[in-house]
Amino acid sequence: MVKRLGILNAVAHFILWLLALYFFVKVGAGNLKLSFCGFFYADALSAFLIFTTATISFAAALFSISFITTDLVLRKISERKALFYYLLFNLFAAAMFFVPLINNLGCLWVAIELTTLISSFLVGFYNTRHSVEAAWKYLIICSVGITLALFGVILFTFALSSATGIKSLNWTELLAAAKMLDPTIIRVAFIFILVGFGTKAGLAPMHTWLPDAHSQAVSPVSAMLSGVLLKCSLYAILRYGVVVADCCGASFYTNLMLVFGLLSLTIACVFIITQRDLKRLLAYSSIEHLGLIAVGVGLNSPLALFGALLHLFNHAVSKALMFFCAGRVAQAYGTHDLGKISGVSRALPVTGLVMLAGVFALIGFPPCSIFISEFYLVSSAFLCGNYWVGALLLGLLAVIGGALLYHFGKVLFGKPTIVGNPPQQEFSPAESGGNWLAYGFLLFFILGLGIFIPAILQQSLNAAVSILRGE
């Protein structure tokens, strides 16, 4: 029953992925701007985020088939709970699909808040001491953040209403009136937006919920949290950023993004070096990559923005792959403790091999796609004349890469140590068809985009860059 539901869920997400691909090609590459009743709005940027969401949710749906079945076999969850998982999974995905399609900034706020409320159940899914603690911290910290963001939304509305008399929260109307808005109010409002949505996006120093939530969530959901959820909040910041840049000049917004981006990279670097938990290690790596995207936005050149958007997708697929592998390893070993895991390449040969590829992808080794986007980001820093930013990026990426290689080297090689509960005999090391498909699907993007960027993607990203630059 649960397996059949999992397969049905994956088929539904595949259909959704095909629709998202069609939408992406039509709207993204065609540089269309669609509006429906003034409430829904889609352009190249929205289409790109929808495609990213569809890609990760399809991969997660594929991986969920065997993951949830294995959890059932290992008696970690009941059948009823497995069914509940699929309900929450789809509600969570639906909320994330909704975010890029909303024109009304008040409803965008509600959609982002809904993603928190729904995913909190998926973080606390196993109902253990650690998972409930993580879910509580996630709920509280993100709710405070998002409440501050709501205050920012109100200040934006106040600025629009006082300057033009328009009583609207639509992004398109806000952008059209950007030059008439009071720059002081807009600056203050944006700080609240950045801190508020930045909390949910995992930007340091507001990131404290992220390692807890990502490490305790069900692994396919960790992939969705890291791959898409963080980007949904970043998307909201970017939308407001365009208005701020038009109203007060780009430097205020870009400098803030640069500062938060570099801070995130630095803090992630420290915690990655000292990390002792496999899934927390991946969570801190997400903070690092979000920091990189923020730096790209902060540099604000067309090349940097192109690199940042490409990195958004590349990180989503690479990190999803790594969370899937980490989930398999945690099921086999019964722990995420790095000190208790070794010899994965021998205990789980396929997962080990995919994990090795994933580590190289995360570090940014050629020919993986992250190499290309990181190359764009670092080179744009030097081309913009921000030599110290470029040098800092190179230094931090080198240290983080070294630390990841060290940690995963210990996990992948050596004598296999299957310890703890559940016992190994109840866990099947053979990979299911769903896992093969999920790995293959993500590796296709990781390796494919590292070698060649299709013209459709290039056109779509260029269109999205133009939107971000207010052109």
Partner 1 sequence: MNWLCLFAILLITAETALVSRFPALLRNFRYQSFCLALLVFLAAYREGGVSLYIIAFLLFSLKVLLIPYLFDVLIKRIGSSDHLGLFLNAQVSLFLVFVLGLVAWFFSGLVVAPPAYLEQLTLGVACFVMLTGVFLMVSRIKALAQVIGLLMTENGVFLAATIIPGGMPFFVEITLFFDILISVMIFGLFIYRINAIFTHIDVSKLSGLRG
Contact 205, 73 (CB under 8 A): no
Of the candidate spans 118-126, 199-207, 429-437, 463-471, the one that interacts with partner 1 by CB under 8 A turns out to be 118-126
- Chain positions 238 to 277 lying near partner 1, rule: CB under 8 A, are 271, 274-277
Q: Where does 99-167 have alpha helices with state H?
A: 105-123, 129-164
Q: How far is the CB of 208 from partner 1 (least distance, A)?
A: 10
Alpha-carbon distance of 34 to 205, in angstroms, equals: 36
Contacts of 391 (CB under 8 A, 6+ apart): none
As given in the structure block, the two tokens for residue 135 are 């879910």
- Per DSSP, 29 falls in state I
Distance separating alpha carbons of residues 21 and 221, to the nearest angstrom: 22
Name which position in 49, 56, 101, 134 contacts partner 1 (CB under 8 A). Answer: 134
Please state the closest distance from residue 368 (CB atom) to partner 1, in A: 28
Q: Can you tell me the distance from the alpha carbon of 456 to that of 107, in angstroms, rounded to the nearest whole number?
A: 30
Q: Which is nearer to partner 1, 94 or 150 (CB)?
A: 150
Question: For residue 406, how many other CB atoms are within 10 A of its CB?
Answer: 11
Which residue's CB is nearer to partner 1, number 6 or number 145? 145
Q: Which of 147, 164, 432, 466 binds partner 1 (CB under 8 A)?
A: 147
Q: Give the one residue of 11, 78, 87, 130 binding partner 1; rule: CB under 8 A.
A: 130
Q: How far is the CB of 10 from partner 1 (least distance, A)?
A: 28
Q: How far is the CB of 267 from partner 1 (least distance, A)?
A: 12
The sign of the CA dihedral 133, 135, 141, 144 is negative
Q: For CA atoms 16, 21, 26, 29, give the dihedral sign.
A: positive
Q: Does 78 bind partner 1 (CB under 8 A)?
A: no
User: Judged by CB under 8 A, does residue 151 bind partner 1?
Assistant: yes
Please give the backbone phi and psi of residue 430, each rounded to the nearest 5 degrees, phi first: -70, 140
Q: Which of positions 153-212 make contact with partner 1 (CB under 8 A)? A: 154-155, 157-158, 161-162, 165, 167-169, 184-185, 188, 211-212
* Binding pattern for the stretch 210-239 against partner 1, x by CB under 8 A and - elsewhere: -xx--xx-----------------------
Nearer to partner 1, 35 or 162 (CB): 162
Q: Which of 1, 11, 201 is nearest to 82 (CA)?
A: 1
Q: Which position among 136, 365, 413, 436 is part of the footprint of partner 1 (CB under 8 A)?
A: 136
Separation between Cα atoms, residue 360 and residue 455, nearest integer Å: 26
Residue 336 contacts partner 1 per CB under 8 A:
no
Tell me, what amino acid is at 176?
A: A
Instruction: Tell me whether residue 122 or residue 317 sits nearer to partner 1 (CB atom).
Output: 122
Cβ closer to partner 1: 127 or 255?
127
- Angle (CA) 397 403 406, round 5°: 140
In contact, 305 and 272? CB cutoff 8 Å: no
Among positions 2, 82, 96, 135, the unique one binding partner 1 when judged by CB under 8 A: 135
Choose which of 106, 401, 448, 470 interacts with partner 1 (CB under 8 A): 106
Longest CA–CA span in the chain (Å) reads 70
- The answer to whether 22 and 77 have CB atoms below 8 angstroms apart is no
Stretch that binds partner 1, among 123-131, 304-312, 328-336, 394-402 (CB under 8 A): 123-131
How many residues touch partner 1 under the rule CB under 8 A: the total is: 51
With CA atoms as reference, report the closest residue to 103 among 210, 53, 30, 175: 175
Q: How far apart are CA 374 and CA 398, in angstroms?
A: 12
Shortest Å distance, C-beta 160 to partner 1: 9
List contacts with partner 1 (CB under 8 A): 104, 106-107, 110, 113-114, 117, 120-121, 124, 127-130, 132-137, 139-140, 143-144, 147-148, 150-151, 154-155, 157-158, 161-162, 165, 167-169, 184-185, 188, 211-212, 215-216, 271, 274-277, 280
